[in-house]
Chain A
Amino acid sequence: MEDALRELYQEVILDHGKHPRNHRHPPEANHSARGYNPLCGDQVTIYIETDADGRIADAAFEGHGCAISIASASLMTEILRGKTEAEARQLFDDFHRLCTEEDFALEQAGTDDQDALERLQVLSGVREFPVRVKCATLAWHAMASALNGGGDATTE
C-alpha cells in the first residue's frame, strides 16, 4: 500500500470514520447549519450550543459521508468544546491552511491551542489528494455557517 494512502487513512481517521463521536442531535443546540458537498452528495448537519458567555458548551453532528468527512466532523466536535466563537473561527482558518499549504508549520498558526492543531494534523494527509480537501473541511464550513446564523454551507 502506498505511503500517501497510509498517511491519508491513518488509524485515527478510520476509527473516527467508523465510530464517530458526538453523532447526535442535542436538544439544547442554539446554532445549526447543514454542510453539503454537491460533488458527492455528502451532507452533515452541525449543532452547536453556546452558553451565556458565548462559549461552545456542546457540539455535535448528524449526517453521512466518506471516512475523511465523518472523521473530520467527529474530531471537530470534540475540539470545539470550551472555545469562544472567535477561537473556533481562528481554528478553522488554521485547519484550512493545514489541509492546503504544503509548508504550513504549526508555529505559524493563529490559534493558541497547539494541542488541538496537533490532533487535527492527522487530516493533513489530504494535501496529497486535492479533491478530498473539501471532504476534510465540510464540517468546518458548516460550523462557521452555524455560528453566522445558520443556513446551508457548501464546499463549492
Chain B
Amino acid sequence: MAAASGAAAIAAGSNSTLAFDVERVREDFPILKQEVYGKPLVYLDSGASAQKPTAVIDAMREVQETCYANVHRGAYYFSQHLTDRYESVRKTVAGFLNAGSDQEVVITRSVTEAINLVAYSFGAGLSAGDEVIVTEMEHHANIVPWQLLRDRTGIVLKVAPIDDDGNFLLDAYEALLTPRTRLVAVTHVSNVLGTVTPLKEIIRLAHEAGAKVLVDGAQAVVHGKVDVQDLDADFYGFTGHKLYGPTAIGVLYGKADLLKEMPPFQGGGDMIRSVSFAETTYADPPLRFEAGTPPIVEAIGLGAAIDYVNAIGHEAIAAHEAGLLAYATQRLQQIEGLRIYGSAKEKAAILSFTMEGIHPHDIGTIIDREGVAIRVGHHCAQPLMQRFGVPATARASFGLYNTRAEVDALARALEKVKELFG
C-alpha cells in the first residue's frame, strides 16, 4: 500500500518513470480526451467510480459480438465456451487476491451486495447479544447491513474510533473485543480520509478474541496489492467499477470453511443442487451464493480490468499515486483557508478538504465549469462527517491516469472559487 510522506515520495511521483509512463497510460482511456464546457476533462473522482480502459470496453464488446450465451446451463458450444471464460475470471480474481482457491471467490453485483451477503448468511449464525464491531470511518455499505442485522436478531453493534488525523486506534479497538465479539467489519482504505487501516493487527487481535473479520476492500484493491492469505482475512469484498472495470459486478472472497457452513443468501437458479416442492438442496460454494444469471459480461470486463492493472503492476501504480498525493497535498495546503481531512501515517491517494466559509457543493459546481470533476457531499459516510463536525467535504481521488498538471488545474480552479466568493 502506498505510503505518501516526505520528499522521496514526491520525487517518485514525477509523471513518468522507467516503469510507468502516465501519458501512455492515458492513451488507454478514451474518455480522457473529452472536454467539459470547452475545457479538458480533469477527472478526480475515481474513488467514486473509475474510468475504463479500451481493454475492458473491447473485452465486453467482443464477448457480446462473438460468443454470448448464458452460463452454467447450455449444452451448446457458446454456453460452454463462455462458462469456461466466466469461471476463468474466478481464477483471475483468486490470483489477484492470492486466495487459496478459486472456489473461495463469490461473484456478486457489488461490494455492497458482498457485505449484505455476509450480514445475511454469516449473520444467520449470530444471536441476540453477539457483537459486531465496525469503525467510525465505514461507508454506509458497511454500517447499514449490520444495523439491519441488529434489528433482525438483536446483535450489539460497536464502533471502533479513529483519531483526529484519521488513524485507526488499535488500543481502543482491542478494548472493544470481548468473548461475545463474532465479527469485525472494517474498511481497508477509508473512502473519505484515505487512511490505510492496520489490517494485519486488526485481524490478528480479532482472531485472538475468536472473532472473524470482513474487510471492505473497495478503495484498497485499486491502490495496492492485496494478499488475503497474508492478511488472514476471513471475508474480503471489492467492486469492479472502482478498479477500472464495469459497474454491477463485485467480489466476495470468503475462507472455504466459512462459506461451506453458511446458508444461501438469495434463492433462485444456479445456486441449487436439486429442487422439489418438498425439499431443495443447495450447491456448494461459491455457486450457492450466486442465485440467478450472474453478471456474465461484467465478469469478463472485470477479468480484463484485473489483467490491465496486473500488466502495469501494483508497485508502479502505488508509486505514481503516492507521488500525486504528496504533490496534491503540498499544492492544496498553499491555498489559504483550505483544510485537509485525513493525514494518517499510511494513506491512499484520496484527498478530502473544506474551504473556509464555502460549502463543498458550491466548490463542486464552480470547478465543474473549469472541467474539474470531484465528489462533494457526505461520501456515504455520514457518521464520519459527524465525527469531524462537518456536513460535507470536497474530495479529490486519484487514479493511475492522473497527472501533476491535473493537480495544478484543481488548485487553479479552487483559487477561482475563492475569487468568486470574495
Contact = CB atoms under 8 A, between A and B. Distances in A.
A binds B: yes
Interface residues of B, number: 22
Nearest to B381: A41
A41 B392 contact: yes
A88 B416 CA distance: 37
Nearest to A4: B369
A86 interface: no
Contact of B419 (A1, A43, A66): A1
Interface string B374-408: 00111000100100000110000000000000000
Interface in A9-24: 9, 14, 18
A40 B421 contact: no
A132 B377 CA distance: 13
A62 to B, nearest CB: 13
B384 to A, nearest CB: 11
B362 A67 contact: yes
Interface in A127-150: 129, 131-132, 135
Interface in B347-387: 357-362, 365-366, 369, 376-378, 382, 385
B420 A40 contact: no
B420 A65 contact: no
Contacts of B359: 42, 65-67, 70
A70 B361 CA distance: 12
B3 to A, nearest CB: 31
A129 B362 CA distance: 11
A53 interface: no
Contacts of A2: 37, 369
Given A4-B369, A14-B421, A39 B377 contact: yes
Given A40-B377, A40-B378, A41-B385, A135 B361 contact: yes
Contacts of A132: 361, 365
Given A5-B366, A8-B365, A129-B365, A64 B391 contact: yes
A5 B420 contact: yes
Contacts of B365: 5, 8, 129, 131-132
Given A4-B369, A5-B366, A66-B361, A40 B382 contact: no
- Please tell me the size bucket of the interface on A: 20 to 34
B113 to A, nearest CB: 21
Given A5-B366, A9-B420, A40 B37 contact: no
Contacts of A135: 361
A152 B155 CA distance: 29
A68 interface: yes
Nearest to A70: B359
B422 interface: yes
A106 to B, nearest CB: 26
Contact of B391 (A42, A67, A129): A42
A70 B374 CA distance: 22
Interface string B26-51: 00000000000100000000000000
A1 B382 contact: no
Interface string A57-87: 0000000111110100000000000000000
Given A8-B365, A68-B362, A41 B377 contact: yes
A43 B385 CA distance: 14
A129 to B, nearest CB: 6
A135 B392 CA distance: 14
A65 B392 CA distance: 9
Contacts of B419: 1
Contacts of B366: 5, 9
Nearest to B379: A41
A5 B382 CA distance: 29
Contacts of B382: 41
Between A6, A18, A40, A132, the greatest number of chain B beta carbons within 10 A of the residue's beta carbon is seen for A40
A100 B37 CA distance: 21
Interface string A26-43: 000000000000011111
A131 B357 CA distance: 21
A65 B391 contact: yes
Nearest to B420: A9
A35 to B, nearest CB: 13
A2 B413 CA distance: 12
Contacts of B376: 40
B419 to A, nearest CB: 7
A2 B359 CA distance: 19
B377 A5 contact: no
Given A1-B416, A2-B37, 5 more contacts: A40-B376, A64-B391, A129-B365, A132-B361, A135-B361
25 contacts: A1-B419, A1-B420, A2-B369, A9-B366, A9-B420, A14-B421, A14-B422, A18-B357, A39-B377, A40-B360, A40-B376, A40-B377, A40-B391, A41-B377, A41-B382, A41-B391, A42-B361, A42-B392, A65-B359, A66-B361, A67-B359, A67-B362, A68-B361, A70-B359, A135-B361
